[in-house]
Structure 1
Amino acid sequence: MADLDHSSDDNSSVDSREETSQDSKLDFSEDEETLITLMYNLLGQRWSLIAGRIPGRTAEEIEKYWTSRYSTSE
């Protein structure tokens, strides 16, 4: 039974690591931010093309970053 308790502890630590990795994925470096801005000015909202120039980033991540950073809902 002690093994069952131990395995559930492992699962909770895995979950917290996954959440941390998700949060860190949304952190963009200054170089990435500059590149996104330049590419957006050239291509507009063609997120998949912009993502193609930034290794390890998806179109969804870049769109979410852009929307949260430059939302015009003021």
Structure 2
Amino acid sequence: MDSSSSSSSSRDKKSKDNDRHEAKEANSTAQNFVDFTEAEEDLVSRMHRLVGNRWELIAGRIPGRTAEEVEMFWSKKHQEK
């Protein structure tokens, strides 16, 4: 294999890796916009009054939720309109 085809092959691999990385980022961002149930919303509100912006602590009380999801939910719900 000559150096030009090696470079081309390397670029193609990097391009595919970048595409996969971008898709993964988009998927993880989309997951952050999951709807919360009314019970989860209530718990987030009550916990936030008690502990403030301690998202890890709040998320620990809601099975299956991450700190990022809770923070994103809170930010989206309380953004300036």
Q: Compute the TM-score of the two structures, normalised by the length of structure 1.
A: 0.64
Separation of aligned partners in 2, 1:40 and 1:66: 9
Aligned-partner residue type, residue 41 of structure 2 = E
Q: Does 1:47 align with 2:55?
A: yes
State the aligned residue count.
54
Query: Which runs of no fewer than 5 residues in structure 2 stay unpaired?
Result: 1-26
Bigger relative CO (Cα 8 Å, ≥ 6 apart): 2
Which of 67, 75, 78 matches 1:59?
A: 67
Q: Does 1:30 align with 2:38?
A: yes
Separation of aligned partners in 2, 1:63 and 1:24: 9
CA RMSD between the two structures = 2.1
Which of 1 and 2 has greater Rg? 2
The alpha-carbon deviation at position 26 of structure 1 amounts to: 1.0
Query: Which runs of no fewer than 5 residues in structure 1 stay unpaired?
Result: 1-18
> Is 2:47–2:58's contact at 8 Å kept on the other side of the alignment?
yes
Aligned-partner residue type, residue 76 of structure 2 = S
